[in-house]
Amino acid sequence: MKLAAITLDLDDTLWPIMPVMDRAEQALQEWLEVRCPEVAQALPVPKMRALRDQVFAEHPELGHDFTALRKLCLRAALLPHGYGEREVEEGFEVFYAARNRVELYPEVGNALERLARRAPLVSLSNGNACLVRIGLSGHFRGQVTARAHGAAKPAASIFHAACAIAGAEPARTLHVGDHPEQDVTGALNAGLAAAWIDREGQGWQLPSPPPRTFACLAGLAEYVEGL
């Protein structure tokens, strides 16, 4: 394959997502304790997570839009206590600011520089991270999120939208991510090449042939430099 572009997943590909979400939920809880103390008392973090899960289950049509779902969760938490949209927006901003304070995997900064020298990079994520807030936008030609696109991976359309931003045909685009179905199978079904980042050494479990696999982004960068 003559490589023309690379699309990259974000959460659990460039940084671990669970520590990020834990910190974001804690930041929201601390804000509630000051701004809406009765809500904080009624909904400590475990109960807020249960409310989140309930809201997510009740709105499968918004499965591609974590921002909308999170705001619905905040409305369900705040409105019964007499708060309104102002507090919903303030609370979401507290959560979202913390959600974008990520800690990259150690090799990612250097690997992104190496990859960006070889081909245009476009991020492609089902999450709602903001590359500008994170400080990585300089490495990327553009960003595609499920929220903005209106559909999530593994839908072929979101992969094709990322290819369009990169200015590359799907057959000459390599998608890289950590999720076997959403990233690898989705990309292959959309006509892209795919590489799997298997940081935990799980090994390929799907019945399809295993894709080109790397333990981290440094191995991917070395592979791309050899193309």
The single residue listed with the structure tokens 């590909």 is 13
The answer to whether 190 touches 169, Cβ cutoff 8 Å, is no
Could you give the 3-state DSSP secondary structure of residue 81?
helix
How many C-beta atoms lie closer than 10 Å to residue 106's C-beta?
11
Q: What is the mean pLDDT of residues 87-96?
A: 98
Quote the CA–CA distance of 33 and 142 in Å, as a whole number. 37
Please write down the long-range contacts of 65-68, taking CB distance under 8 Å and 24 or more positions apart.
Answer: 65/128, 65/146, 65/147, 66/126, 66/127, 66/128, 66/147, 67/92, 67/96, 67/128, 67/147, 68/147
The pLDDT score that the predictor gives to residue 54 is 96
> How do residues 150-205 score in pLDDT, each as one tens digit?
999 999 999 999 999 999 999 999 999 999 999 999 999 999 999 999 999 999 99
How many C-beta atoms lie closer than 10 Å to residue 58's C-beta?
12
The pLDDT score that the predictor gives to residue 1 is 76
> How do residues 39-70 score in pLDDT, each as one tens digit?
999 999 999 999 999 999 999 999 999 999 99
Quote the CA–CA distance of 216 and 196 in Å, as a whole number. 9
pTM of this prediction?
0.94
The answer to whether 105 touches 198, Cβ cutoff 8 Å, is no
> How do residues 211-227 score in pLDDT, each as one tens digit?
999 999 999 999 999 98
The pLDDT score that the predictor gives to residue 4 is 97
The pLDDT score that the predictor gives to residue 14 is 98
The pLDDT score that the predictor gives to residue 136 is 97
Domains of the chain in sequence order = 5-16+103-225 (3.40.50.1000), 17-99 (1.20.120.1600)
> How do residues 112-148 score in pLDDT, each as one tens digit?
999 999 999 999 999 999 999 999 999 999 999 999 9
